[in-house]
């Protein structure tokens, strides 16, 4: 399995400027892709990073896409109106998204994608898309199996702590006969005094990717906003016995140099946990 980061920024796209350079860690909002099996692709979230990804996959001639959405906040959807494959006939798009407790009737992501891609927000409305698009919902603790030939992925979800709700996903697959897993847990504020369902979901995973948007000082004024710190992520990674921790969903005010020094400090403080920790970079590929 090969994981690629197309967007690592939280909250809003953050183009690089002289005041806040973001070239190294990236300015696009959340989008990842997982290449699995012979020639399959799973796309996680549709932040602004999806735009560049779509151009890339059009060049490759890819015609089939499976999406997994974590929640409906705008920084996780806003790339979809710029996903060029969706405008073409003969393209298949399958979308899996959370059915969150207390959600209104109907598919939340389907409604949200239609709403953001309609007047007065966007000129080319969702009904103008020519791709075949189908929507499915996922609930926490249900298992989803994606299969292609002799290859398959197993996906489980768990509820995260985030305003409006959000799902973490554990994805289990195999590379050259070896079982591998990773957990994607963006937009999550780990509880201070108890363990969240994420720690069960992420048990002994090869890689936990988690939301460390704030420094501990910033977090003091943003408790309850639904995001964590690298240190809170590590606490859950240790409880889950995860083998590696990667931090994502960077704050828009954090420049490359701020993130680099946060990462360095975090690596020092995480040393005794024996879990390798680092910050994700837009454009980074990880072979699992």
Question: Which residues contact Zn ion by CB under 5 A?
Answer: 10, 73, 75, 187
Which lies closer to Zn ion via its Cβ, residue 28 or residue 187? 187
Query: Nearest approach, Cβ of 204 to Zn ion (angstroms)?
Result: 27
Cβ nearer to Zn ion, comparing 73 with 254: 73
Q: Which is nearer to Zn ion, 38 or 104 (CB)?
A: 104
Nearer to Zn ion, 37 or 228 (CB): 228
Smallest separation (angstroms) from Zn ion to the CB of 69: 11
Q: Pick between residue 12 and residue 195 the one whose CB is nearest to Zn ion.
A: 12
C-alpha to C-alpha distance for 172 and 162, rounded to whole angstroms: 24
In sequence order, the β-bridge partners of residue 34 are 3, 42
Which H, E and C letters describe the chain, residue by residue? CEEEEEECECCCCCCCCCCCCCCCCCCCECEEEEEECCCEEEEECCCCHHHHHHHHHHHHCCCEEEEECCCCCHHHCCCHHHCHHHHCCCCEEEEEEECCCCCCCCCHHHHHHHHHCCCCCCCCCHHHCCCEEEEEEECCCCEEEEEECCEEEEEEEEECCCCCCCEEEEEEEEECCEEEEEEEECCCCCCCCCCCHHHHHCCCCCEEEEECCCCHHHHHCCCCCCCCCHHHHHHHHHHHCCCCEEEECECCCCCHHHHHHHHHHHHHHCHHHCCCEEECCCCCEEEC
Instruction: Provide, rounded to whole angstroms, the least separation between the CB of residue 62 and Zn ion.
Output: 26
To the nearest whole angstrom, how small is the minimum distance from the Cβ of residue 31 to Zn ion?
11
Nearest to residue 234, comparing CAs of 249, 220, 248, 247?
Answer: 247
User: Shortest gap between Cβ of 112 and Zn ion (angstroms)?
Assistant: 12
Nearer to Zn ion, 74 or 241 (CB): 74
Question: In whole angstroms, how close is the CB of 164 to Zn ion at the nearest point?
Answer: 7
* Minimum gap (Å) between residue 250 Cβ and Zn ion: 10
Q: Please, which residue, 64 or 197, has the CB nearer to Zn ion?
A: 197
Tell me the residue number closest to Zn ion, measured at CB.
73
């Amino acid at each position: 399995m090969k994981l690629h980061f197309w967007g690592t920024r939280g909250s809003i796209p953050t183009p690089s400027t002289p005041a806040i350079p973001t070239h190294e860690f990236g300015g696009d909002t959340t989008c990842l892709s997982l290449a699995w099996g012979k020639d399959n692709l799973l796309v996680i979230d549709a932040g602004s990073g999806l735009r560049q990804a779509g151009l890339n996959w059009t060049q490759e001639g890819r015609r089939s896409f499976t999406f997994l959405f974590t929640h409906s906040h705008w920084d996780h959807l806003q790339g979809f109106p710029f996903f060029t494959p969706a405008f073409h006939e003969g393209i298949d798009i399958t979308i899996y998204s959370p059915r969150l407790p207390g959600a209104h009737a109907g598919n939340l992501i389907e409604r949200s994608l239609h709403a953001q891609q309609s007047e007065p927000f966007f000129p080319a409305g969702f009904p103008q898309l020519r791709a075949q698009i189908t929507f499915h919902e996922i609930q926490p603790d249900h298992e989803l199996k994606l299969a292609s030939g002799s290859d398959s992925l197993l996906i489980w979800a768990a509820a995260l702590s985030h305003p409006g709700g959000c799902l973490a996903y554990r994805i289990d697959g195999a590379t050259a006969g070896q079982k591998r897993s990773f957990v994607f847990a963006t937009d999550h504020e780990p509880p201070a005094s108890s363990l969240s369902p994420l720690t069960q979901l992420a048990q002994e995973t090869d890689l936990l990717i988690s939301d460390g948007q704030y420094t501990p000082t910033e977090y003091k004024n943003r408790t309850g906003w639904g995001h964590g710190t690298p240190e809170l992520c590590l606490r859950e990674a240790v409880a889950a016995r995860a083998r590696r921790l990667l931090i994502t969903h960077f704050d828009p005010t954090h420049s490359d140099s701020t993130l680099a020094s946060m990462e360095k400090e975090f690596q020092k403080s995480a040393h005794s946990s024996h879990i390798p920790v680092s910050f994700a970079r837009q454009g980074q590929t990880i072979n699992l």
